Every structure is written in structure tokens, then in C-alpha cells.
Amino acid sequence: MEKYQTLLKNHIFFNFLYLSFHLRVIRLKWLKILLALIVIGISSYGLVTNDYSYNFLSIFFLGVFFLILGFENLKNKKSQGVSIFSIIVSIFLFFVTCISFF
């Protein structure tokens, strides 16, 4: 009886981890969509009004987007080169944001 209870507890624990992992994947997916929409919105505003004073925010959110994309690909081990390149691009975008802000 104890063996079955232990198996049931482990099964519930692994189901929780599985569900938690999928919720994180869904959250990251929505976060990437939100960041992409923010970048598109800020860039569209700048193009329509010819006011590029908020351009640094667009670059910053694009850097966050590339950072999330790079870590997600690195975690899934899909393509190491693309993920490392995305992380390097995000670091460069953060550097550009700091320079353009100050």
C-alpha cells in the first residue's frame, strides 16, 4: 500500500512540474507577443508623427525580446548558435539604449 501511495505522490508531483513548465511556456509566449506589439506600437508612433524621442524604448523592448528568445532557444537546445547570437544582439541593444538615453 505504501508503494502505491509513494507512486501516486510522485505522479502528482511530476504532473505539477509538467503543468508548471507548460504554464511558463505559455507565459513566455504571451510575453514575447506583448513585447513585439509594444515595439511595433512605439515604432509606428515614431514613423507616423516623425517624433523619435521614444525610440530608445523601442530598442530596449527589442533587446528584452531578443534576450527572452535567446534563453528560450538555449533552454530548449534547438540551435546553440542562434541563441548565443540573440543574447549577444540583446546585450548590444541594451548598450545602444544606454548610450541613446544618456
Q: What is the pLDDT of residue 20?
A: 52
Tens-place pLDDT, residues 24-47: 666 778 888 999 999 999 999 999
Averaged pLDDT, 18-28: 59
Please indicate whether residue 82 or residue 12 has the higher confidence score (pLDDT).
Answer: 82
Q: Using CA atoms, how far apart are residues 47 and 37, in angstroms rounded to an integer?
A: 15
Averaged pLDDT, 77-101: 87
Quote the crossing angle between the two packed helices 2-49 and 55-76, to the nearest 10°. 150
Number of neighbouring beta carbons within 10 Å of residue 44: 11
Q: What is the pLDDT of residue 71?
A: 86
Cβ neighbours for 87, distance < 8 A, ≥ 6 positions apart: 66, 67, 70, 71, 74
Instruction: For residue 71, give the DSSP letter.
Output: H
